[in-house]
Structure 1
């Protein structure tokens, strides 16, 4: 299991909530626990390599653009940021090397 799986799960949930809020199908107050979950999961991650940093940065940019849409602000290209997020996510989550983690990480 990759060190980012909890973060990935939290960000996908938060992104889904942001999209629902942008469409008006969920209350904006529902975003608070989802956002806190993302921050909590991110705080547990240590030792970021280049791909990890790119993934975190792409995730933050995509979430910010969706948040701007929810707030009614002009947003950067959501589609472009979503594509960049998907590429970075694939590199870290989907294509992550198996067995490259220490036994401590695997036990956790």
Structure 2
């Protein structure tokens, strides 16, 4: 599913320190602030697609929304690195994968290419 560009995600909490209530959240990742982004778990880069040019796909594993810490989410960022014809960069596409099984980024990339046919069907 698509995620809005100003959403926030949290990582898993650190180990229990033995005092007080166990934490539910770890580090906060704000999508519109790259300085808060966590370390990427997997990434691929497609160097030369005939229509889209250079594309980078990154994935963060086991994040969660603030109100649902017991439901892990995998966050995927798809970026087109070549600028538009007017010189502006393409806006990034943020996707959330909810489920126990994770697809490899190569398969996610091919699904991204077919999204218009699925979205407008």
Normalising by structure 2, we get a TM-score of 0.21
Bigger fraction of residues in helix:
1
The structure with higher relative contact order (CA 8 Å, sep 6+) is: 1
Pair member with larger Rg: 2
